[in-house]
Amino acid sequence: MISIQMQDALNQQIVLEGYASFLYLSMASWCDHKGLPGCAQFMHRQSDEERVHMLKIFHYISEVDGFARSPEIKQPPHEFESIVELFEMVFAHEQKVTAAINHLVDLSIKENDHTTLNFLQWYVMEQREEEAQMRFILDRIKLIGDGPQCLYYIDKEVEEINKKAAKAPATAV
Ligand code: FEO
């Protein structure tokens, strides 16, 4: 059984993960529209992963006898200035998610809630990987440049990441 405070904090995390899923879905559509299939595929995969992140918490709350709430998700933006702005926005959102996960970890320590502390370790690792990946992409864009002639090469770089991800085992909910 988790505390009401922990239950509420985890339900807040569901909102953040759910928003990330819909934000990335919106970005996938923008990338498709701009003729960037590699980036579109990447954002679709990120969107699917965020839904899995949301559902893992949802199931966890039920498992520990709490009450998981289906989130209200605000409308994400549909327009982006450029591909660099889009990836900077992803990176900023991931940093926000990391801060929220750290807050949950702090709360689980404060409450001596070892079960939730253990559950959250997967998210700590996942956030480290996601932030590193976004930093990598932003560094690549800085090297290539983000003018119109560079978009093709940026898309090819992201496609390489997609190929590697396709070989990795899928995450279960
Ligand atoms: Fe689940 Fe990338 O935050």
Q: Is the pLDDT of residue 113 over 70?
A: yes
Angle at 29 between CA 26 and CA 35, to 5 degrees: 145
How many angstroms does the Cα of residue 167 sit away from the middle of ligand 1? Answer: 20
> Is 149 exposed, middle or buried, given 0-12, 13-18 or 19+ CB atoms closer than 10 A?
exposed
The tokens of 16 are what?
């953040």
Q: Is 53 in the pocket of ligand 1 (CB under 6 A)?
A: yes
> Ligand 1: which residue has its CA nearest to atom 2?
94
pLDDT 10s digits, 30-70: 999 999 999 999 999 999 999 999 999 999 999 999 999 99
- Asked whether the beta carbons of 30 and 79 are under 8 A apart, the reply is yes
Ligand 1 atom nearest the C-alpha of 123 is 1
Q: pLDDT by residue (tens digit) across 80-90?
A: 999 999 999 99
What is the 89 CA–ligand 1 centroid distance (Å)?
Answer: 13
Burial of 123 (0-12, 13-18, 19+ CB in 10 A): buried
Tell me, using a 6 A CB cutoff, whether residue 130 lines ligand 1: yes
How remote is the CA of residue 50 from the centroid of ligand 1, in Å?
5
Ligand 1 nearest atom to the CA of residue 126, by list position = 2
pLDDT band at 149 (very low <50, low <70, confident <90, very high): confident
| CATH assignment, 4-167 | 1.20.1260.10
Give the per-residue pLDDT at 172.
Answer: 67
Q: What is the pLDDT of residue 166?
A: 86
Does the Cβ of 113 fall within 6 Å of ligand 1? no
Decide whether any atom of ligand 1 lies within 6 Å of the 54 Cβ: no
Regarding the beta carbon of 94 and ligand 1, being less than 6 Å apart is answered: yes
Query: pTM for this one?
Result: 0.93
Identify the residue whose tokens are 């590699």.
38
Q: Tokens 């990598």 sit at which residue?
A: 136
| Closest to 95 in 3D by CA, of 20, 14, 4, 7 | 20
**Quick check: CB of 20 below 6 Å from ligand 1?**
yes
- Atom number in ligand 1 closest to CA 53: 1
